[in-house]
Structure formats: C-alpha cells, structure tokens
Structure 1
Amino acid sequence: MNKKVLSMAVVIVLLIVVTIVSATTGSIKVGSLDLIQGLFTGTNKSVQIIKDLRLPRIIVSLFVGAALAVAGVLLQAVMHSSLADSGVIGISSGAGFISILFVTLFPKLFFWLPVFAFLGGALACFLVYALSWKAGLSPIRIILVGIAVNATFTGLGQSFNYRGSYAVTQVNQATTSIFTMKTWTDVEVIVTYGTIGLILSLFLSSWCNLLSLQDKSAQNLGLHVARARLIISIVAVLLSAIATAIGGLIAFVGLLVPHIARLLVGSDHKILIPFSALAGALLILSADTLGRTVLAPTEIPASIIMTVIGGPFLIFLIRKSDRMYGN
C-alpha cells in the first residue's frame, strides 16, 4: 500500500479512536454504544452531561489542533523555514495581547474577540517578517526575532492580569490553554472561522508548492510571489488567531506536526495540508485527553504537554536548519 495512503488511513483511524476514548473517559464513564444511543435518544443523563461539557471540549481541541498545524505549514511555506510556528514566533501571543487590550478597553465588544485576535496576530506576523528580512530570510533570524516578539507580547499580555476587571478575567479564560468549560458557543465560533481558514488553505496548496522554489523560478512559472505570500500569511494568521482566541496559547503544534507530516506524506502541500490538519487535531486532542485523565481530578494544560514535547524538538530543528529549504 502507498505510504501516503497508509499514513492518512492510520491518522484517521487513530483520530476516531482517540475521539471515542476522550468522549467516554473521565469522571463520568459510559460505553461507546451507550454514548451513541444516548446522543440520539436523549434519555441517558450521563450522556447529556457529556454532550454539554465534554463534546464541546473535544470539538474545540480538534479544531485548535488542525488550525495551528495548518497555520504552521502555511507560515513555513511563506518564510522558507521549518522553524516558523505561530506559537514560537509570537503570532499567538500577539493575538492574545490585542484581544486582552481591546476587550479591556471595550468590554461590550467581547463577541468580537476573534477579530481582535486576528489583528494582533497580523501585527505580530508583520513585525517578525519585517525585522527578520535582511537580504532574504534566515531561519535562525526568524526564530530569534520571533522569540523576542513572542516575549514582548507575552509580557504585555501578562501585565493585564493584575487589573482584576471582569473583562480581563473573561479574556484570561478565553486565552488560557485549558479547554475546561468550553461551550457550544465556542464550538460555533471556532467551527465557523476554522472551517473557512482550513478550506482556504486547501485552495492555496499550489501556491505553497511554488513558494518552495526560488522566487525567480516561481515568478517564471506565473506566480505573483508578493501577493501569494500576503494571502497565505493572512490565512495563516486567521487560523492562528481563532485557535488562540478560543483554545488559548499553545506553542510548537505548527512546528512538530508539519515536520513529521513531511516525513510521512512528502512536501506536496495538496496532501501535506489535509494530513497536517488531521495530525494536528489528533495531537491536541490526545494531549488534552492525557492532561485531564493522567492525574485526575487535577488537569495538566495541553500547552504544558506541548512545551515539554516541543522544546527539545525545536532544538533539534535549529541544529538541522542548515539543510532545510535549501539554506
């Protein structure tokens, strides 16, 4: 069997299995058949509790993972660097800070949190791209500038934690990486914006393939390089922003997943993007399920698990970065 087909099939099967395990495991446990039957009949009280509290958390986890992974693929295509990740280079922290800033100043506009997050992510992306450019983009320069931008926005965001206002409390709940108490309203927001971003990313796959070439070669093949970079960056920021606004600050997903995906399915973005979406969803759902069950009733945020995994992986990528994207 073709390696790409096998890899896709394995990820899909694992995603289904982990989703079922996540739905049936926890303080309230039900069998798989009882869960399915209860969802249709509405007569099982335990299943109703799971439907109201656990299913929104699962769906949010799936979309956050998919959005962050695909955002990583898109940013890496734009910046010619496998080190690009929305959490590492500050896009997520920029989205979180601007969200806190605007909702603190205008608490009645809390509904527009995803829009504020997008503006913050776009600002951070622009700063990283502009400050990293010096006769081209260096992977190491991107990561160093990104870490600085990330630290700046993170510090600015944390400075609001001491104001104690109701609006800030609500934003902190929205931007923390624990998926507890997510509601169907959160699901509606992330499914709407996330689906739009993921579908757009599929249409951009051919541009991403061309951007893997040298700029002159891409232009000779008919690609308007500057416009393509701008549009792909906008979609990447949209995905990162909505994931941050609903799921919180989680780093390394867009770093870890695309690298492993390339080893399994290759660098063709027509396959790489959907595979990364599935793998990212699997990764975050697995991390969240592990975090809420391994030390129950205490929870370990998914962001902590990803940091433990992603930190060493980032070091590995930096050491190997001279062989990436022809650098």
Structure 2
Amino acid sequence: MKKKVISFISIIILLAVVAGYSAVTGSIEVSIGTLISGLISGTDEQVEVIRDLRLPRIIISMFAGAALAVSGTLLQAVMRNPLADAGIIGISSGAVFTSILAVGIFPTLYFWSPLFAFIGGALACFLVYSLSWKSGLSPLRLILVGVAINAVFSGLTSTFNYRGSYTVTSINPTTTSTLAMKTWNEVEMMTTFVSVGLILAILLFSSCNLLALQDKTVKNLGVSVARSRLLVSAVAVLLAAVATSIAGVIAFLGLLIPHISRQFVGSDHKVLIPFSALAGALLLLLADTLGRTILAPNEIPASIIMSIIGGPFLIYVLRRSEKVNGNM
C-alpha cells in the first residue's frame, strides 16, 4: 500500500513538473511567475501567445496520453493479451479513416469527429477480434491480423491525399500525428470525450479484474463474460478513437504504460487504471516536449519518439511472453 501511495504522489509531481517546464520552454521562454501573472492579468503579449498555442498543446498531450494508456490497459484485460494496443492492432487507423471520411463529407460536424472515429475503431476492433479467434486468442495471430487491418485502413486513409488541396489540408493534422497548432476548440472536444471515457473505465474496474479469470470461473460467479468484454472493449475503443481523431495515430503508448504501471501498483484495475492515466499523460507530454525542444526550432513529432521507444519494447515483450513463444 505504501508503495502505491508513493508511486501516485511521485507520478503527480513529475507530471506537474513536466507540464510547468513545457509551458515555459520553447521559442518563447518566460518564468513560471511571469506566466501565472500574465495569465491572470491578460496583458502580457508573450504569455498570450503561450496561452493560445502552447497550453492547448500541453492539455491535449496529457489527455491523449491518458486516453491511449487506459485504452491499452482495458484492451489487454479484455483480450488477456500483453501485446494489445490500439495502435498496433489497427483500432487507431480505423478511427482515423472514418473520422476523416465523415469530416470530409460533412465539415460542419467536426466537433463530432470523435464519435465518427469511434465507429471506425469499433469496426477495426471487431475485425481483429473475429479474425484472430481460433479456439482462443493467440498473441502472435492477433498481432499479425492487427498489422493487416492497420495496413488496410492506412491505405484507405492515404487515398485522401489525392482528392484535392482542401481535403489534404483538413486531414493532415490527423494523419501526421502532430500536436502542434491545436486550438481551444480541440481542447474542449478532447477533455469532454476523454473525461467521459476515463470515468467509464474506472467504473468498469471490477469487470477488468474478472476478465483476468477463466471464462468458466466468471460464469460461475453469475457474470456475463460476453457483456463484460463488450462494455470494456467499447470504452477502450472510445478512448483510443477520441485521442486518435485529435492527436493523430500514436502507437505503442498503450503497450508500454500498462506494463510499466503494473510494476508500481500491481494488477488491480481499481488502482491500475487511474495510475495508467497519469503515467500515459506524463509519457506523451514528455515525448512532445522533447520533440519540440531537443532540435529547436525544428520539431520531432511525439509519435516518432514513441515509435523509437515502443519498437524495442514490443520486441522485449514478445521475447518475454511464454505464451507467444509457445505459439511460434
């Protein structure tokens, strides 16, 4: 218990420190005191630029990171698979495709793009789940099917690059996975949908814990396995779809964070879900901050940094997973 409390306090402090550093560091640099006073008074031009350009980026980074991390946690629980991640198994690419398709056809419905993304993510999840099932879910088979589904939806998304300058301009923020030039309208979308998803995820912690048991055991407890899987999967897809539709495709975060979080707070989802949300927010914000400062004034998208980190981690998990090794 003491370790869990220390872990939560530490992650909150680290998140606050990184957020503060990210807010005052960049092409415009100010002190924390100047930033706070400028935000209150509204008379400092430099602080106004930070408020309009940098703060939305920070908030979206944290909420997107939290959403993707919790989505990965839920997917790993519902599939009993340590390799499950929205970016790897194609959910994110499915969300991107339906999001840009809907917004391209109905531009006035941009605020509801996360819901369109949810439809695509749910379709991708269904395809991966159904095509991977063969007397159970093999981690290796799920990865291979997920890569195939991801390739199909990515290819469909790429076709929009040839439909005219307006469409290309409108979808670039999603397909390039950049967190730059975000607006307060996008912050409103992100915080609204992700907050709902995170609350639902926390409420479903008991279902996640039960899904770790054998199906027969869960049924003997009077719980519907299919219903629990459907609810948890729906929330996982919602979180991944919302994050993807606004922040773009960011792979591996949902793979890394659940594994790291279990080392600190254990496998009880009542604690694991909120800790994963904080850790995911910290990791994506840190990746974005490094990406825009390490080679300033040039930027490295956070998605690229996550791929550099996540690729080797995926190989590590594959090599350590006895279940995967047994099927190879």
Which TM-score bucket, shorter chain as reference? over 0.9
Q: Which residue of 2 aligns with 1:69?
A: 69
SS of 1:118's partner is: helix
Query: Does 2:26 correspond to 1:19?
Result: no
Cα deviation, residue 204, structure 1: 0.3
1:151-190 → structure 2 map (5 Å cutoff):
151-190=151-190
Written as runs of structure 1 = structure 2, the 5 A alignment for 1:1-327 is 2-322=2-322
SS of alignment partner, residue 137 of structure 2? coil
Moved more, 260-269 or 174-183: 174-183
The C-alpha deviation readout for 1:117-167, integer Å capped at 9, x for no partner, is 111100000000000111111111111111111111111111211222413
Superposed displacement of residue 323, structure 1: 5.4
* TM-superposed deviation, 1:224: 1.0
In 2: Cα distance, 1:244 partner to 1:100 partner? 11
Gaps of 5+ in 1: none
Moved over 6 A (4+): none
Deviations 1:275-307 (A, max 9, x none): 000000000000000000011111100000000
CA contact (8 A) 2:83 2:317 kept: yes
2 CA distance for matches of 1:33 and 1:107? Answer: 41
- Higher deviation after alignment, 32-41 or 201-210: 32-41
Matched residue of 1:137: which SS? coil
- Secondary structure in structure 1 of the residue aligned to 2:321: helix
Counterpart amino acid of residue 211 in structure 2: L
What amino acid sits opposite 2:146 in the alignment? G
Contact 1:103 1:167 in 2 (8 A): no
The answer to whether the 8 A contact 1:57-1:180 is kept is yes
- Give the 3-state SS of the residue equivalent to 1:149 in structure 2: helix
Measured after TM superposition, the shift of residue 98 of structure 1 is 1.3
SS of 2:160's partner is: helix
- TM-score with structure 2 setting the length: 0.96
Q: What letter is aligned with 1:321?
A: S
Contact residue 104 and residue 168 of structure 1 kept, 8 A: no
AA partner of residue 319 (structure 1): R
2-structure distance, mates of 1:111, 1:265: 36
> Residue 175 of structure 1 contacts residue 245 of structure 1 at CA under 8 Å; is this kept in 2?
no
Distance 1:134 1:172 in 2: 38
Structure 2 CA distance for aligned equivalents of residues 179 and 115 of structure 1: 20
Give the distance between the partners of 1:292 and 1:279, measured in 2 at CA: 20
Q: CA deviation at 1:175?
A: 4.0
Contact 1:176–1:247 (Cα < 8 Å) also in 2: no
The residue matched to 2:298 in structure 1 has which SS? coil
SS at match of 2:120: helix
Deviation at 1:106, TM superposition (A): 3.3
Please give the alpha-carbon distance, in whole angstroms, between the structure 1 residues aligned to 2:175 and 2:8: 31
SS in 2 for 1:30: coil
Aligned residue pair count: 326
- What is the one-letter code of the residue matched to 1:256? L
Return the alpha-carbon distance in structure 2 between the equivalents of residues 152 and 125 of structure 1.
Answer: 13
How big is the shift at 1:62?
0.3
Q: Tell me, in whole angstroms, the C-alpha distance in 2 between the residues paired with 1:3 and 1:146.
A: 36
Whether the 8 Å CA contact 1:107–1:167 is kept in 2: the answer is no
**CA distance in structure 2 between the aligned counterparts of 1:203 and 1:175, rounded to whole angstroms:** 32
Once the two structures are TM-superposed, the CA of residue 171 in structure 1 deviates from its matched residue by 2.1
Output the CA distance in 2 between the equivalents of 1:107 and 1:247.
18
